[in-house]
Amino acid sequence: MLALGMMSGTSLDGVDAALIDTDGERIAGFGESGYQPYSADEASVLHAALGRWPGEAGVAEAASLTVAAHAELADRFPQAGVIGFHGQTLAHDPGGRGTHQAGDGWRLARLTGRRVVWDFRREDVRQGGQGAPLAPFFHHALARWAAEQGRIEAAPVAFLNLGGVGNLTFTDPRIARPEDACLAFDTGPANAPLNDLMRARLGAARDEGGALSAGGTPDEAVIAAFLRHPFFDREPPKSLDRDSFAGLGRAVAGLPDADAAATLTHAAAASVQAGLRWLPQAPAALLVCGGGRHNAPMMAALAERTGLPVQPVEALGLDGDMIEAQAFGWLAVRVLRGLPTSAPRTTGAPGPVCGARISGPR
């Protein structure tokens, strides 16, 4: 069926939407995509609600804004038979209070007049998983699609998503079932600390293309201290909240703008390098999606620190800005079919989990 996946990530820049033709296992084709940026005022509302839980100040406003933005963008895709709606992550504490994605899918279903699959993470967390990352099964489908198309060799590869947080999926396209083929985990902070630095110091949404960090020198002492965080010694699966490494921003507070940006950029790459120790073997390539792949210094730092071939997913003919949105369209169809969306080696759940809620328009 034709599904519309929608994603608003922890970088808080806007909503991605992408059509995908799938049975929830194989990929038959990719459709149109779209993007709706948040205005500065809207981004401020979301930033103000970060770290908060249902019922706390600012959360209702953030949820209402999230649903309205998604509904407006979804109207551009009337051909979709189902919508996969991730919502806006405000807090993630799988070992404690759980996970919180703002935005009620039932409201989106009423506004769009279509079925909406939503609240993808809660059931995995309830069963003892991390609730993240959730794109790995889709990364596996992409690897199988690319191998069938002759775009990559049928060998293990790693997908690296550089959003607000970085997450890595090691997958073998020669294995049919994603729950048997994938190992996945969050690597560490990616764009979030850098975006926050740019917002606080220069009033900009991001370091566009890495222009600021390209002129700076990373402080290796700060990076070495960052890598001593106990998170890096924890065996995966493991996940992070957007602000789990808030201390990294404080560590660069005394550095000039360019050096601070370069340090945060190289810290993101260093965290990926630290995560490679957990993979069963070196992947044939590191395939990068998410906004971080537009940052040339970050891509160069990844190649330098990991020693792996580093390519944007566009090298496979994919749209790296839309992978996560496509993933939630694909996952929505899996939920409709009762297929697993996570497993022990991706989220740490005790067994395969098919987690989400389904809401109709009435």
244 touches 193 (CB < 8 A): no
Q: What are phi and psi of 282, to 5 degrees?
A: -70, 130
284 touches 157 (CB < 8 A): yes
- 191-210 pLDDT per residue, tens: 999 999 999 999 998 999 99
Q: Which residues pair with 29 in a beta bridge?
A: 21
Give the C-alpha separation, 256 to 211, whole Å.
14
Exposure b/e, 92-103, CB count within 10 A at least 16 = b: bbbeeeebbbbb
- In the chain, the domains with their CATH numbers are 2-132+322-359 (3.30.420.40), 136-316 (3.30.420.40)
pTM: 0.92
Average pLDDT in the 288-298 region?
95
Q: What angle do CA 187, 191, 195 make, to 5 degrees?
A: 150
Give the C-alpha separation, 244 to 126, whole Å.
21
Residue 176 pLDDT class (50, 70, 90 cuts): very high
Give the C-alpha separation, 147 to 142, whole Å.
8
Give the pLDDT confidence score for residue 334 in this predicted structure: 98
Q: Does the pLDDT value for residue 243 go beyond 90?
A: no
Coil/strand/helix, residue 29: strand
Q: Does the pLDDT value for residue 9 go beyond 90?
A: no
Q: Does the pLDDT value for residue 254 go beyond 90?
A: yes
Give the pLDDT confidence score for residue 241 in this predicted structure: 84
Residue 341 pLDDT class (50, 70, 90 cuts): very high
Q: What angle do CA 85, 90, 95 make, to 5 degrees?
A: 100
**Residues listed for the chain:** 362
Nearest C-alpha neighbor of 239 from the set 191, 189, 280: 189
Coil/strand/helix, residue 107: helix
Give the C-alpha separation, 259 to 253, whole Å.
10
Give the C-alpha separation, 359 to 110, whole Å.
9
Give the C-alpha separation, 210 to 233, whole Å.
29
The fraction of the chain above a pLDDT of 90, given in percent, is: 93
276 touches 282 (CB < 8 A): yes
- Mean pLDDT over the full length of the chain: 96
- 134-174 pLDDT per residue, tens: 999 999 999 999 999 999 989 999 999 998 899 999 999 99
- 271-291 pLDDT per residue, tens: 999 999 999 999 999 999 989
Give the C-alpha separation, 9 to 96, whole Å.
22
Give the pLDDT confidence score for residue 127 in this predicted structure: 96
Give the pLDDT confidence score for residue 95 in this predicted structure: 86
Q: Between the CA atoms of 28, 182, 335 and 36, what dihedral angle is there, to the nearest 10 degrees?
A: -70
Nearest C-alpha neighbor of 165 from the set 251, 92, 218: 92
